[in-house]
Amino acid sequence: MSEEIVNLDHTAIMRAYPSIVNIADSFKTYGLDESGNQVVFEQSKVDAARVEINKELAATKYQRDRAAEYPDWGVQLDYIYHNGIDKWKTDIVDPIKAKYPKPS
């Protein structure tokens, strides 16, 4: 076993090793499964999991961008009350969807 310290990307480690239930920065090269057994990390598996996570995040970035841009629900509901659904879609929803299009 290599004593190389693995990049402690907890999210990627959990993706690469679903049986892990405990990761502590002090472990450096392993985590513990639900039985308390050590599971040794391989950096290549952690890196591959990070690549997949990054792809997933990139594919849904438009959703997070849109959510950050929309006004809060109270403002939107007030706009709908005063102007109607069609105007809300035209004035609020459509411009944000055009700014952050869904990837094809």
Whether residues 48 and 74 share a domain: the answer is no
Whether residues 20 and 55 share a domain: the answer is yes
Q: Would you state the pLDDT for residue 29?
A: 76
Q: Would you state the pLDDT for residue 23?
A: 83
Report the distance separating Cα 68 and Cα 70, nearest Å: 6
Q: Would you state the pLDDT for residue 6?
A: 54
Report the distance separating Cα 12 and Cα 72, nearest Å: 32
Q: Is the pTM of this model over 0.75?
A: no
Q: Which domain holds residue 37?
A: 10-59
Flag whether 42 is in a domain.
yes
